[in-house]
Structure 1
Amino acid sequence: MIDSDYFNLEGKRGLVIGVANMDSIAYGCARAFRTLGADLAITYLNEKARPFVEPAARAVGAELFLPCDVMVPGELEAVFAAIGERWGRLDFVLHSIAFAPRADLQGRLVDSSAEGFGLAVNISVHSFLRVAHLAEPLMPQGGSLFAMTFYGADKVLSTYNLMGPVKAALESAVRYTAAELGPQGIRAYAISPGPMLTRAATGLKDFDELRDAAEERAPLGRLAEIDDVGAVVAMLATRTGTMLTGQIIYVDGGYHITG
């Protein structure tokens, strides 16, 4: 029997990593989580980023607002320690961070440096696995883990370059995480919006052309906005998503089926 519990997050607690500002996908997700009743912890990259993230954290009434640079030893661990002390448990985590050095990102993949490739994988992929490792003991009754991917993981896009194989690795990491943590009731998803005008997208070469072409191809005639993505992610975090795990969930107006 389906009841209202399938569509709310009342009493649930979640962590959102990767809010850059109030235009970011992570903020759209945070807003949707909060709309369905969840209590939230929000992170910011560093003191330079804090003024851009703090208004978003206030807007969703974040109970915890913590620094988190996954490349600073101990910071990610400190976030989970603070959550454990404050709440004692966790119901969902959104991982929405990725990085590649501009020179490697905008050049040919075959010309990428080992250092740049390794850094991109460390920040964009391995940090998700670290999140899963740290979240597991705080999810004794199950939970949900979300990562952000992109169509360029599956198809070659001339503008995506280095991040194509990096996001492909992330999608594989999500599948393996879903398999390994499934017995504990922990689900994992890779969310794949179409091209969206976020701060991260500005680092991609010829992004405007990519977005315009995708919008023309999308069967629904438009691409997703941050609240479209947030609505889907929040739904998956509820009981509605109980029997879904390990999938790539496309939220792109159908763009991915036209390639």
Structure 2
Amino acid sequence: MKTLKKIAIACALLVSIIGISAFICQEPDKKNTATGVAEGKSFAVLELFTSEGCNSCPPAEQLLEKLGKESAGKPIYVLNYHVDYFDHLGWKDAFGSRENTRRQQEYSTWLNSQVYTPQLVVNGTAEFIGSDEKAVRSAIASQLSIKHQGILSVSVHKTGKQIKVDYLSGNTGDQDDLILGLIQKNGSSNVLRGENAGLRFSHIQIVRNLQSVSLKQSSSGSREFYIPLENNMEKWEVIGIIQNRKTGRITAVDTAQVNQ
């Protein structure tokens, strides 16, 4: 008890001297060790599954962009996953990937839902038609009223086309994974064939790469991404999500901008 008391006093003095109100002082614990991040955060993570080959997807992408603009300064995070299962209908989506399709299939299992576009998932716990603005806004409001106990901090360092991501998490369980995503902030395409032939698409928050890390053994670490060669001039962001691999529920999120 004397030792703990001395630790508490030392920490209080350190907070007073440095003046960092978010500093977290606690006994070492590999499952609860993120400094500078407050517990009990509310947020809404919006994951839209879409394709340039889907003629019902443009309204959903427009809604996503609208919500993205409205969310500036708010804990609302929008992600645009282009799937690959429309590629055989005449137009190959340059932003689509099998990886994104697999993530949607995971949600199909977690939420007992069909695989379709445009599908929008909020915080890993509810899914809607991506263009249903009323339902999406209701889900966002509901999630922003919930305090999530997960803790996560991500930071990035870019060298050439390599991006190193450092992460630090806390309040996680044995079934929690860290999902790291490399996000291209903007992109566009002239669709020449398929259901949307003749249209020009502008996209935001495009998921270009995903990595999954188990947090069972360690709460901190680093991973690397590589920017696609043809997109070196684009703006990029990294997002981190703590997600339960059995239920899909998201309990923490953080982002870091990639400097040019």
TM-score range for the pair, normalised by the shorter chain length: under 0.3
**Structure with more of its chain in helix, by fraction:** 1
Report the TM-score when normalising by structure 2: 0.25
Task: Please tell me whether Structure 1 or Structure 2 has the larger radius of gyration of its CA atoms.
Answer: 2
Report the TM-score when normalising by structure 1: 0.25
**Structure with more of its chain in strand, by fraction:** 2
